[in-house]
Structure 1
Amino acid sequence: MPDYQSSSVETARKAVAAKLREVRLDAGLKGHELAARCDWHKSKVSRIENARTPPSDADIRVWCKGCEAEDQAADIIAASRSADSMYMEWKRLQRTGLRRLQESRVPLYERTKLMRGYASHVIPGLFQTPAYATGLMSTISRFHGTPNDTPEAVAARMARARVLHKVGHRFTLLVEESVLRYQVGDAEAMAGQLGHLLSVMSLPAVSLGIVPFSARERHMWTLEGFNIFDDQRVHVELLTALVTLTAPGEVGMYVKAWAELQEMAVYGSDARALVTEAIAAL
C-alpha cells in the first residue's frame, strides 16, 4: 500500500497484528517456532506482528492453524478485510467496470442524513448530468484501463442522484470556482452541466457554495476532493485509491477543513452569478 498517512488505516492494521501476536502467545509459541510450523521464513512472523506486512486470508488461516486456534481465524480475517477496505485502489474497485462501484455506494448515500462535500476538480457526482458524467467516466475508464461500461455506469450514477429528492436528507456541498471552468466533455455538455447546477441549487435539500477565485484572505488551501457522511466517515478520492477514514480525530480534521472552506464560499445570487459567468465564457 502506498504511504498514505492515515491513522484509521494504520490503527486497524496494528489491531490485526496485535490480535495475531496474542494468538501466538496464547499458544505458547515463539516467533521462529510458529514460522517453522507455517513453513515460512522466520522474519515473516515478525513482519506481520509489527504490521509491516499485511497478512492475506491464507496467512491468517495458516497462522491460526499453527497456533491450534483455527476457531479464531474467521474473526481475524474479517478484521483484516475491514482494514484493507479503508484503502482501496481504484484498479481493484473498478476491475469489472464502473457500474458496480456506483451501485455499491447507494446504501451509504441512502442512510446518510447529512452529507458534506468538497470538490476541487470535477462537479460532485450527485450533481452531474448524463453528458458530463459520460465525458468524465470515459476518461476514467481509459486512464485506469478498466472495462468500459460507461453507459451503464452513468445510468447507475443518475439513479443514485435520486436521493437528492428524498425526505430526511441534507446535502451541503462546496466546489472551487475552477471546477466551473474545467471543461469535461464538449462545450454543449459543459453548458448543460452548468445549467443543471443552477437547477440543483434550488432543491430544498441542497446547499451549494462556490469558493471564488476572488476569495479574500484565503485561509485554507485547495484540498483533494472529499465527502463527509454524518460525522462518522470520510471518503477521500486520490488519483490511485479511495481512502475511507473513520477515526474521530481524522474525521474531525476534515470537518474543520470543510468549515474553513465554507467560510470562503459564496451562496445564492452570488453563486449563481459565478455559474452564469462560466456559461458565458463557453
Structure 2
Amino acid sequence: MSTDFQTARVALGLRLRELRTEAGLNGRQLAARLGWQASKISRLENGKQNPTAADLDAWSAAVGQPERATELRGRLRGLETLYRSWRRQLSAGHRPRQEAGITETQRTRLTRGFEACVIPGMFQTADYARSVLSRYAAFRTTPRDTEEAVNARIRRQDALYEQGREFRVLVWEGALYVRVCPREVLAAQLDRRVMTDAIRGADWLAHCSPTPDAVFAAWARDELARIPTGPYWAAVEADLLRSVRAMEPLSRADLLGPVLAHPETERAWWLVPPDAHSHLADLAQLTVHEKGWPLLCPSPEHGTQGMCWLERPDGTGKLTDPAGLGAAFGRGGRLPAEVWGRAWSAEGLRSRVAGREAARSGQAEQPAFLSLSRPTDVRW
C-alpha cells in the first residue's frame, strides 16, 4: 500500500484517539456507546481499517463533539483520494511503481522502514520478488508485468552497494516464516538476508584499512586484501579446532567477534580490541600479532584462496572480548572433545567449510547452513 496513503490513515486514527481521550473514555467504553466490537476501535485508531463517513459521524457524536464530523469527513476524502491514486498507479501494472521506487531511493541518503509480513523489497531475491509481485497482481487484478517489475525492483538494490547510503529497516520475525513462495525460494531468500549483513561487514572491514579502495579492488578481483592491524583491532592467531570449540561459549555469552580461518593449515585469527595483549600475553596457545601486522582477509561475502570467515564482521565494529577469549583458551577453558564429536575433526571442518562456500557460489541447490525447521539460526 502507498506510503502516503498509510501515513494519512494512521494520522486519521491518531486524531480519533485524541478525540476519545479528550472525552475521558477508554476503548471499551466508546465501543459500548457505539455498539461496536472493541477490536474495531483499535483497528481504526491504529490505522488498520478504513472508516466510513457514518463511522466518523457516530464517533464524533459519541465523544460529545459532533462538530468535529466535518473535519473528520475532510480527512476521509483526502484518504480516499490517495487510495484512488494508488489504484491508478497500479492500473498499468507494477513496473511503474517499482521504477518510481528507484528514483526515490536515488535521492535518499537515509532510508527507514518497517515490514511485518514479508522480506522488504530492497532485500528480496529475484525469485522471492517474483512470487510476491505475482500474488499482488492476482489479488488486485492488475496487468501481469511481473518480470519487468522484478527487474526494476532488483535494479533498486544497487543502492545497497553505494557508499554514503544507510538503510534502517525493522522487520517482524514472522516475516521469516511466511510462505509466500516455494520452500527452496525462501531458503535462498534467507541466505540472501545473511549476505546483506555481510555487505555491511565488508564496508566496515575495508574502512579499517588506510586504503579502503584498494581493499574493495582486491575483493572485486576475488583476491585476499592485506589489512594491517592497528587502531581498530588486533589479530590473535590460534589453532583452528580449539578456536571452533571456543566460539560456542563465547557466542552464548555474546562475547564473540569476527573469526577468520584457513582450514588447510588449521589456523584461525580472532579480531580483538587493540589493547588485548595484556589479557592474552601469558597464553602459549595464542599469538597476539604486533601492530601493523598484515592480516590477509577475504571479503565477508565469501571465502577466497582457502580463507573464510567462521564468524563474519557484522558492520557494528563488535570484536571478541579478550578476557572471554583468554578464559576459553586458558586452563579449564577447553570444552570436552566428546561434546563436539567427529564433526569437528579437521577433515569434517574442511568439508563443512567447502559446503558453505559451494552454497554461497550457487554450486549447491540449497544453502548448506540454513534449515527452515530452525529459522532462529538465521541472524536478523
Coarse TM-score class (shorter-chain normalised): 0.3 to 0.5
Pair member with larger Rg: 2
Relative contact order (alpha carbons < 8 A, sep ≥ 6): 1 or 2 greater? 1
TM-score by length of structure 1 reads: 0.46
TM-score by length of structure 2 reads: 0.35
